[in-house]
Amino acid sequence: MQQEIITVLLAMSPTLEAHGAIATAIGLFHFSATKAFLLSTLGTSLLIVPLLLFWHFLAEFFMQRIYFVNRFLTWLFSYTKARHTHHFAAFGESDVEGSKADFWKAFALYVFVAIPGPFTGVWAGTVAAFVFGIPFWYSVVALFLGAISVALIDALIITGFFKIIFG
């Protein structure tokens, strides 16, 4: 049971996430690929809602108390919107909740999280969802599906790697 908890905690870490958790579970703990996949998906999925809420709370907290943080975040949000609104303009008005633009932003978030690479996991995805203003539930679904996809890809790659190396 201790190894399972370690795997879930590794999946929750901001640097290792699913990549490190699955590699550790399969290589060190000798878990099956299915078990490693499920545990790492559980670990990364547990973070989604708390992190999305945390970034909003943190920004609100510091924007109300520190003038320079307020100015920086106000600039960041307006700059991000100005720089990237045209990418989604063909899909409808992005200021309307539930628009096609929100769907495509969430899809882009899914792709960002589903790509196995450094700094493209759930932690970075929650920050991106916050900065780009993707609606909460769109973000939750996109991040959850991205976490499943990246864990599946990692499990397949790592299992194949260990089979090639160790026969």
* 23 has a pLDDT exceeding 90: yes
**Is the pLDDT confidence value at 87 over 70?**
no
Per residue in 41-80, pLDDT tens? 999 999 999 999 999 999 999 999 999 999 998 998 888 8
Q: What is the mean pLDDT of residues 108-136?
A: 92
153 and 121 in contact (C-beta within 8 Å)?
no
In this prediction, residue 77 carries a pLDDT of 83
Say what the alpha-carbon torsion angle 114, 115, 121, 125 is, to the nearest 10 degrees: -70
Percent of the chain beyond pLDDT 90? 66
Mean pLDDT in the chain? 89
Enter the pTM of the model.
0.86
Distance CA 143, CA 122 (A): 6
